[in-house]
Amino acid sequence: MCGIAGFIHFERDNGRPEWAAIAHSMGETLHHRGPDDRGEWTCPAGALVHRRLAVIDPDRGRQPMTRSQEGQDYVIVYNGELYNTGALRRDLEGRGHAFETASDTEVLLAAYLEYGEAVGTRLEGIYAFVIWDGARKQFFACRDRFGVKPFFYAWADDGAFVFGSELKALFAYPGLTPRVDAAGWCEVLGIGPARTAGVGVFAGVEELRPAHQMVIGPAGARQERYWSLVSRPHADSYEDTVLRVRELVTGAVTRQLVSDVPLCTFLSGGLDSSVITAVAARDYQRRGLPALETYSFDYVDNQKYFRPSSFQPDADWPWVDRMVEAFHTRHTVLTCPIPDLAALLDQAMRAKDLPGMADVDASLLYFCRQVAQKHVVALSGECADEVFGGYPWFERPEMLHAPTFPWSRDLDARREVFDPRLWKRLGVEDYVQYRYAQSVAQTPRLEGEDPENARRREVAWLNLNWFMSTLLDRKDRMSMWSGLEVRVPFCDHHLVEYVWNIPWCMKAMNGRRKQVLRDAAEGLLPEDVRTRPKSPYPKTHNPLYEELVRARVAEILADPAAPLHALVDENALRAGMLVSAGDYGRPWFGQLMAGPQMLAYLVQLNAWMVRFGLTV
């Protein structure tokens, strides 16, 4: 895993002397993504920049990587990991290609030489890359099917196409100034911490959408989708479906265990992380490797303050112990101190360049930092709920049929916090509904599907394209800020393609969400772990956290220069959240973000405005 950046400027035939310095500055903003190495390449049409976190062939996989064919140079910068490197390499060797390294970067570049703009359809993995095509005198950019790896871009005033793995890299280019327009504020206030696919929030900044590719040449840029989900009838019996799901999950995990550096898994004791850990541990045993290392996460005094709820019915630690006992993993429990959790809110924002999932981000940042002290690669159970329909909004009628995003269907909590005049002037609610309707209209339909299942397909589409993207954004930024690569086997596109068309009556066999995955795990997991009710990512129940973030918000409001004043209804805040304890009702985003997380979101909003000099 790495960071990439660069700029393309065809209007300057011979380049400019300052380009090397600009490229260097852009690369420095991504140092955390690639602490092992750096590289820059310039040509008359622009520059490519790379920061490297070495995972495969550390000694010979340096980038930018150049290969020549028929007298023309082809140069690549690449962030990601290919999981079909071996098969792709054998195919290319059969077509006459020879390789100098064991790196997937060289295989990817050779695949482009062989297949050209059709290369994306040949790839399995997580990636964002740019290739200079010396024969066609153009650049080719491509992003993985679900956007696990980021890619932002903007057009500078001088005509340059500027790109980077993170937003901060773009603003290192001269003349690109961070600014937020009305649409951007609607994203942050009404949709955040989610974000519309393709939207970079900052004015003029866009995102290469998942499963899309782009060609940038002297005549401009063109973009196209190279992969799509297709809805079709599911012909397999339930028994065959269970077997196929097990085969696909096992294959995805096994392929993602390839690494030349230390690897571990995240283990919460829930179904998803336990499946990944079980498959990985068995693979390690089969290959005669040392015991798999696993990590679980908790907060100081959480056992003391934990209270079950409909969203979080039980705590993780007994189930983690059960898995460690069953698979003999070398396990470490990481415990986050509450003051550290509150203090990391600003850094979590800096990692993302946007306000995010508050303490959900900050805690992941803390844990990734600890894991990165011993490991470079981790596997996570993220995204199984989006793929298999594990959330309550797939079945609770009031959530399933809400004519808006089901994870934030009630905007009251936001409306009560933000300045009502600003809220109305920006048209936040109209913007949210526009984005919702736009997304639902893109759902791949299945002809003849009954209304109830057609609606579930819409919700599944929203989950894959919105909620899952939010979690993947969070996972990438927090882990890469720490120098840790996190892989997500449940985002394997073969698995997603198959599960997308499994009917709900099978996904939730006998009325239980994700039952098809539970049945696929029969004989793989301890029975009590396999049948454990869903519990989300752990959050702190310690009242100290709320006290700390409430004090932070009060401190911000006491500063007359704080930019947050322009966004919030201070009277409502002082009469409500700043005086009363508790979660203030149901979550306003997802299953975890309630009152304390709204306060933390405000802390991040203020820090974001300060960092980028933003006004509204």
- Name the binding residues for L-glutamine: 104
DSSP alpha helices (H): ranges in 450-542?
451-462, 468-481, 493-500, 504-507, 515-520, 527-530
Cβ neighbours of residue 91 under 8 Å, at least 6 residues apart?
none
**Contact assessment for residue 81 and residue 127, using Cβ atoms and an 8 Å cutoff:** yes
**Contact assessment for residue 589 and residue 408, using Cβ atoms and an 8 Å cutoff:** yes
Going by the annotation, the residues of the binding site are: 104, 380-381
DSSP for 381-418, please give it. -TTHHHHHT-SGGGT-HHHHT-SS-GGG---HHHHHHB
Task: Choose, from 2, 264, 383, 491, the residue flagged as catalytic.
Answer: 2
Distances (CA, A) of 292 to 12, 42, 262: 53, 43, 10
Closest CA to 592 of 525, 515, 539: 539
CB atoms within 10 A of CB 318: 12
Q: Is beta strand 205-207 parallel, antiparallel or unpaired with respect to 485-487?
A: unpaired
**Contact assessment for residue 401 and residue 407, using Cβ atoms and an 8 Å cutoff:** no
**Contact assessment for residue 128 and residue 30, using Cβ atoms and an 8 Å cutoff:** no
Give bridge partners of residue 263 from the DSSP assignment: 377
Going by the annotation, the residues of the binding site for ATP are: 380-381
Q: Which phi and psi (to 5°) does residue 124 adopt?
A: -125, 120
Give bridge partners of residue 336 from the DSSP assignment: 299
Catalytic-residue membership of 2 = yes
Closest CA to 383 of 563, 191, 145, 172: 145
**Contact assessment for residue 584 and residue 576, using Cβ atoms and an 8 Å cutoff:** yes
- Is 444 strand, coil or helix? coil
Supply the residues annotated as catalytic: 2
